[in-house]
Amino acid sequence: MSPTNQTPHPAEHGKATRREWIGLLVLALPCLLIAMDMTVLHLAVPHLTAALNPTSDQLLWIVDIYGFLIAGCLITMGTLGDRIGRRKLLMTGAAAFGIASTLAAFAPTAEMLIVARAALGIAGATLMPSTLSLIRSMFHDENERTFAIAAWMTTFMVGTAAGPLLGGVVLNYFWWGAVFLINVPVMVLLLLAGPFLLPEHRDDNPGRLDLFSAALSLASILAIIYGVKITAAYGFGGTALASIVLGVLGAVVFLKRQRKLADPLLDLSLFANRAISVPIIVQTLAIFTGMAFFLFMAQHLQLVSGLTPIMAGVWMLPATVSGIVGSLSAPALVARIRPAFVIAGASMIAFVGFALLAVPGGSISLITLIVGATLFSLGISPVAMLCTDMVVTAAPPARAGSAAALSETSAELGGALGIAILGSIGTALYRTAMMDSVPAHIPADLAETIRSTLGGAAAASAQLPAPLGDDLLDLARLAFTDGMQVVAALCAILMLVAAIAAIVTLHHFRRTDDTQTTDDVPAPETAIGAVCAPGRVD
C-alpha cells in the first residue's frame, strides 16, 4: 500500500516548515482536551456523587467508560483513518466530541451521564490515532519527528495541569456539568483551523473494513471490564465469571480472525518487531499505574486532605510539571544513552515514587503525597514518550495509522484497565474495611452509601449527628487511605517489572543518526528508524 497525501507539504522529504509546526499546535488541541477531560472529571467526582448519588459501580463506569470505549474503538478508528483520510476522521471526531460534551454537561441521572461519557469515548477514539499518524506524515526528518512526538506527549501533561486548575475554578462557581463545556470552544477552534493547516493523508489501497472484528474487539474489552467491576462492587460470582470468560473467548476469536483476514483490523505482523511489541507492553504498564493513581490522588486531596477543587489542582501542579520535564528531556537523553537504559531508569524513578506512597502507617501526609506523585510522574512520562516514538517510527509509513492506533490503544487501554482494576481493588478494600464499621441503627440506604465510596461517605456523614457522622467519616478516610497504599505498592511492583523488561529485551537497540550507529551490525531500514536499531551490547 502506498500512502496518498492529498495536500502535499513542502516538508514532504525534508525539514518541516512553519506550516507543519503550527499544524502541530493544532494537533495538540484534542490531546489537551482528552487529558483535561480525565483530570477535570477526577476533581468533579465528589460533586457529581453528591448531585447524582451513583452507586459504587455506576461511579466507576462514569469515570472509565470513556477510557474503555476509546481503547475498544482505537484500532477501528486508526484503520478507518487510513481508509477515509486522517484529517477527515479528525474533523468528524472533533464535531462529535463537542456534541457529546454538551450532552454530558446536562445529564440528569447517573445512567445518562454514563451514556454521554460513552459517546465521548467513541468520539475521542477518532482523535487519538489521527493526531499521531498525521505527525508521522508531517515530520519526515527523524530528529524533528522525535521532538514533535515529545511535544505531542507533553500536551497530555499540560492538559493534566490545566484540567484541575480550570476545573477547580469552574466547580467553584458552576455546577459539576460545566466542566464538560470546557471542551466545546476548543473543538470549535480545531474545526476552524484544521482544514487550513493539516494535510489529508490516506492509503491508496486500504482494503475492506471488517465490521465484525470491530464489534468483537469492543465487546471483548467491555465484557472483561464488566466482570472486573462486578467483582469489585458485589464480590466474585457467576455473573462476573461468565462476563470475564466471554470476554477472553471473544478476544481469542478476534486474534485468530485477524490472522486469516487479507485486510486485518489489527495487523499482528507489527508485533513481530520487538521495537514495537516490547514498548507497547512497557507503555501499557506505565500508564496502567499512572492513570489509576491520579484518580486516587484527586480524591485524597479533596476528601481526605480537605482541599477545595482549586487548591487540589494547585497541589497537583508539581506532579504535572515534573511530567512535562520528563517528557521534554527524553529526546536529549536518548540521543546520548540507549533507550533501554533511559526507559529502565525512568521506570525506577516511578518505582521510588510509588514505594514512598506505599509505606504503611495509617495516613499519608500532604507533602509525602506530592513528593511521591512528583517522582512517579517524572518517571512515567519519558517512558510513555519513548515507547510511543519507538512504535511509530518502527512502522512502515503505509501502516502509520495502524501503528499509531496500536500505541494509543495500549495507552488508553492501560489507563482504562488501571482505573478499572486498581480502582476496583481500592474499592473492594474500602468496602471490606467499612463493612463492619457502620452501626446497625443507621438507615440501610445511608449505610450502603457509606460503604460504597468515600464520596458517598462524605455526603452521608453530613446527614448524621455530628459525633457519629465525624467518626464514620474518619473511618472512611482511613479505609480509603489503606486501600490507596495497597494500590501504590502494586504500582511500584509493576514499574519494577517494566524496568527489568526494558533492560532484558531492548538493550540491543540504540539510536542511529549521523554520528552514532549500532555496534558492528548494520541498522536495518525497517528497524526503529530515528529512535533505535538492533546491535550488540557495549
**Amino acid 348: pLDDT:** 93
Question: Quick one: 78 and 204 in the same domain?
Answer: yes
Say how far apart CA 28 and CA 159 lie, in whole Å. Answer: 10
Q: Which residues, in sequence order, are bridge partners of residue 449?
A: none
Q: Which of 158, 152, 132, 116 is nearest to 77 (CA)?
A: 132
**Amino acid 12: pLDDT:** 46
Write down which residue in 262, 295, 330 finishes a domain: 262
Question: Quick one: 238 and 363 in the same domain?
Answer: no
Say how far apart CA 85 and CA 358 lie, in whole Å. Answer: 46
Question: Quick one: 36 and 184 in the same domain?
Answer: yes
* Tally of CB atoms within 10 A around 195: 12
Question: Quick one: 244 and 373 in the same domain?
Answer: no
Say how far apart CA 402 and CA 422 lie, in whole Å. Answer: 29
Mean pLDDT by 10 residues, the chain (538 residues): 43 66 80 70 74 76 75 72 76 88 88 89 78 74 74 72 70 80 83 77 65 83 77 72 89 86 73 78 85 78 79 81 83 81 91 89 82 90 81 67 67 71 82 78 75 76 76 84 89 91 78 40 33 33
Cα dihedral sign for 58, 64, 66, 72? negative
**Amino acid 17: pLDDT:** 78
Question: Quick one: 203 and 217 in the same domain?
Answer: no
Question: Quick one: 246 and 268 in the same domain?
Answer: no
Q: Residue 346: CB partners within 8 Å, gap ≥ 6?
A: 326, 330, 378, 379, 380, 381, 382, 383
Contact (Cβ atoms closer than 8 angstroms) between residue 413 and residue 284: yes
Write down which residue in 232, 262, 292 finishes a domain: 262
Question: Quick one: 161 and 238 in the same domain?
Answer: no
**Amino acid 249: pLDDT:** 93
Written as one letter, the residue type at 375 is L
Q: Give the domain extent around 237.
A: 210-262
* Domain count along the chain: 2
Q: At 461, phi and psi to the nearest 5?
A: -65, -30
Contact (Cβ atoms closer than 8 angstroms) between residue 15 and residue 144: yes
Q: Exposed e or buried b for every residue in 38-56, given b needs 16+ CB within 10 A?
A: bbbbbbbbbbbbebbbbeb
Q: Is residue 201 helix, strand or coil?
A: strand
**Amino acid 313: pLDDT:** 72
**CATH number, position 490:** 1.20.1250.20
Question: Quick one: 214 and 140 in the same domain?
Answer: no
**Amino acid 349: pLDDT:** 93
Write down which residue in 247, 262, 277 finishes a domain: 262
**Amino acid 511: pLDDT:** 55
Question: Quick one: 168 and 233 in the same domain?
Answer: no
User: Based on C-alpha coordinates, what's the Rg of the chain?
Assistant: 23
**Amino acid 494: pLDDT:** 92
The secondary structure of 464-530, three-state, reads CCHHHHHHHHHHHHHHHHHHHHHHHHHHHHHHHHHHHHHHHHHCCEECCCCCCCCCCCCCCCCCCCC
**Amino acid 506: pLDDT:** 77
Question: Phi-psi bin for 517: left (phi > 0), alpha (psi -120 to 50), beta?
Answer: beta
Q: Exposed e or buried b for every residue in 148-165, given b needs 16+ CB within 10 A?
A: bbbbbbbbbbbbbbbbbb
Say how far apart CA 299 and CA 292 lie, in whole Å. Answer: 11
**Amino acid 452: pLDDT:** 74
**Amino acid 246: pLDDT:** 92
Question: Quick one: 347 and 294 in the same domain?
Answer: yes
Question: Quick one: 351 and 250 in the same domain?
Answer: no
Q: Is residue 403 helix, strand or coil?
A: helix
Say how far apart CA 56 and CA 232 lie, in whole Å. Answer: 9
Question: Quick one: 285 and 427 in the same domain?
Answer: yes
